[in-house]
Amino acid sequence: MKLLRNIKVWFFLGLLGFSLPLVALPHEAMQESIVRIFSHIQKTRQRTPWEREESVERRFLGVVVQHSDRKLILTCADVAIDARYIEMRTMTSNVSYALIPFFVDREIGLALFEAEDSALENLPAVSLAQGLSLRQKVSLYSRNQEEKLTEVTGQVSDMTVLSTALSDYPRRLALAQFDKQYIKMGDPVYVGRSFAGFVVNRDPELVQVIPIEHIRHFLTDQHDGSYRGFPSLGISTNELLSKEFRKYLQAEGESRGVRIAKVHQTSPFLSDLKKDDILLRIDDFAIDERGFVDHPRFGKIRYQGVLGDYFGGDEIEMEVLRLGKKIRVKRPVQRFDSNRRLIPFFNLGGRVDFVIFSGFVFQNLTREYLQSWGRDQAPLLLRQRYKFENPYLEYAERSLLIVSQVLADPQLSGYNGAGNLLVQKVNGRPVSSLYELRQALSTPLRKQGEDFVVLEFHPSQGSAILPYKDVAAIHQRISRLYSIAETYFYLPENTGKK
């Protein structure tokens, strides 16, 4: 009897011993497919673009994905912001491997990296979830202070459409509620043991997750060699709640649809659509008066959220109502680029293009330049340009040129302290890029037997007259005084170097 009881005990203990690895193994495999990323960033100072701020380290998580015949690290594009060096370590080892950017799509906020030395060869790739939908239970993994992976569970409570700090592309995001407070950008979200998304933002209540559908789109797009990206329609719309306005637009019998407020220059529908058309449908999605569609998996979301299911180059059919008549148009849509505007949205690499001529620092007006002042603190003239005069451009070469500051020099005494000047003309020629600036600087104006450079700014800011023949000496002095490399100074060939 005693022997039989002992056999039973040992049997159960043995079973327990065998079963533990059966429970732990998938978790360990999953851990191995999550890596720690260390991004060493160094921001460029927007207003003194020859200088950089101190280097800081930002930490993220990434997952291993199978991409054709190799393994790559997938993570959020924020990893690449101002990054000077990126490395990864697995969750269980402190051996570092350099990461090299393979592909970054700032609009959707995702990035792929290669690791050196075949570091990923032996790491398992994640399995991708089928989808992320409302009320789905999810798990989120983050690294704690001891660099260990911790898990917290939650649920998808809503779907929304929002843009981010990197792009004003309207992404479809899942909103999930978790109990944990310490959740970071780039933390992976899982459904069961399958990877389902990345955290891209959080407010006090909810975490925003870029869903697996967008991630699949991004990964699938990589495989055929040419990236088609995420498209946009190139229009702006307003809600159409007012019955009077519908009557005015001869749409009394139609309760659906939003008003087209603007068709941008870059829209493929530029010749088809007009302001005041009522947008009723995109492919099979009927749009309500507030701009929402009923998605079978995501519920009610803004119509822009369905565009994430298309690729650049895909044809999209739209149905609009124009003065009572329904019109259908179908066009291939283009990949969205939020930098294809007069004032670009975001420069991932952090580089600031600038030229110094005679102490005047010329650079393109960018959103980051405006943000460097603090919220709504940048000079009003420049803010107003960004908010109200910032069109999408057919070609991205045009920009808004400013003189951000004038570096003091005895030859420029009347202009010391000037800055934030909107450049309109140089030597009588309109300039809308640093390239055009260089060209114009090379053709000075001659007066009284001497060459001058005449800069014309916004009418409220006047103009400036600069010497031409002495510019090399001015550059040398300023370069020495401010410790700025001479390579940043533009010296036209015909100035006659000293």
Partner 1 sequence: MVLRQLYFLFLLCLSGKGQSGEFQLNRLRKAVFKIRTTYQSVDYSHPWKSNPVSFSTGTGFSIGEGMILTNAHVVTDARLITIQRDGEDYRQEARVVHIAHDADLALIKPVDPNFMKDDMPIPLGGVPSLLSQVSTVGYPSGGEQLSITQGIVSRISYRTYIHARSSRHLLVQVDSAINPGNSGGPVIQDGKVIGVAFQTFTKRENTGFIIPTPVIERFLLDIKDGSYDGHPQEGIHYQRWELSTPAVRRYYQLDRDMTGVRVMYLDSDPMWSVFQRGDVILKIDSYPIGGDGTILFHGERVDFRVVSDLKQVGEKLVYLILRDGKTSEVEVKVVVSQRRLLESYSFEQKPRYAIFAGLVFIELSQSYLRSLGQRVPDLLQYIADFRSFDPNYRRNKDFVVVADVLAHPVNSYAQGYVNSLLLAVNGKRVRSFASFVSLVKSLSSGKIRLDFKGGGGPLVFDAADMRVADEDIQKRYGIPAMDAVEISGDNAIAWEEK
Between CA 123 and CA 330 the distance in angstroms is 45
Which two structure tokens, joined as six digits, stand for 461? Answer: 């800011």
Q: How many residues does the chain have?
A: 498
CA-based nearest residue to 321, from 241, 377, 260 = 260
Rule CB under 8 A: say whether 458 interacts with partner 1: yes
Query: Which one, 124 or 379, has the nearer CB to partner 1?
Result: 379
Shortest distance (Å) from residue 259 CB to partner 1: 5
Which two structure tokens, joined as six digits, stand for 61? Answer: 């998580």
- Using the rule CB under 8 A, give the single segment among 95-103, 136-144, 222-230, 405-413 that binds partner 1: 405-413
Which two structure tokens, joined as six digits, stand for 165? Answer: 């700090």
Contact mark string toward partner 1, 325..364, x via CB under 8 A: ----------------------------------------
How many C-beta atoms surround the C-beta of residue 24 within 10 A? 10
CA-based nearest residue to 404, from 336, 333, 457, 325 = 457
How many C-beta atoms surround the C-beta of residue 50 within 10 A? 17
CA-based nearest residue to 105, from 236, 221, 187 = 221
Rule CB under 8 A: say whether 411 interacts with partner 1: yes
Rule CB under 8 A: say whether 465 interacts with partner 1: yes
Q: Which of 144, 377, 384, 494 binds partner 1 (CB under 8 A)?
A: 384
Q: Which value, to the nearest 10 degrees, does the dihedral of the CA atoms of residues 453, 459, 460, 465 take?
A: 10
For residues 253-272, which are near partner 1 according to CB under 8 A? 259, 261
Rule CB under 8 A: say whether 380 interacts with partner 1: yes
- Using the rule CB under 8 A, give the single segment among 62-70, 86-94, 199-207, 445-453 that binds partner 1: 445-453
Query: Which one, 411 or 439, has the nearer CB to partner 1?
Result: 411
How many C-beta atoms surround the C-beta of residue 422 within 10 A? 19
Between CA 234 and CA 399 the distance in angstroms is 20
- Give whole-number Cα distances, 322 to 281, 292, 302, in Å: 13, 20, 22
- Using the rule CB under 8 A, give the single segment among 132-140, 173-181, 211-219, 376-384 that binds partner 1: 376-384
Contact 289, 240 (CB under 8 A): yes
Rule CB under 8 A: say whether 388 interacts with partner 1: yes
Contact 62, 185 (CB under 8 A): no
Query: Which one, 197 or 444, has the nearer CB to partner 1?
Result: 444
Shortest distance (Å) from residue 70 CB to partner 1: 49
Which two structure tokens, joined as six digits, stand for 208? Answer: 């925003």
The residues, ordered by sequence, that sit 6+ positions from 19 with a Cβ below 8 Å of its Cβ are none
Which two structure tokens, joined as six digits, stand for 353? Answer: 């293009």
- Using the rule CB under 8 A, give the single segment among 72-80, 155-163, 232-240, 330-338 that binds partner 1: 232-240
Query: Which one, 42 or 411, has the nearer CB to partner 1?
Result: 411
Task: Give the count of residues interacting with partner 1 (CB under 8 A).
Answer: 39
Rule CB under 8 A: say whether 122 interacts with partner 1: no
Rule CB under 8 A: say whether 24 interacts with partner 1: no
Rule CB under 8 A: say whether 292 interacts with partner 1: no
Rule CB under 8 A: say whether 407 interacts with partner 1: no
**Beta-strand relationship, 258-263 and 278-282:** antiparallel
Contact 398, 429 (CB under 8 A): no
Query: Which one, 101 or 379, has the nearer CB to partner 1?
Result: 379
Rule CB under 8 A: say whether 177 interacts with partner 1: no
Rule CB under 8 A: say whether 459 interacts with partner 1: yes
Shortest distance (Å) from residue 235 CB to partner 1: 13
Q: Which residues bind partner 1 (CB under 8 A)?
A: 238-242, 244-245, 247-248, 259, 261, 376, 380-381, 383-384, 387-388, 411-416, 418, 447-448, 450, 452, 458-463, 465-467, 470
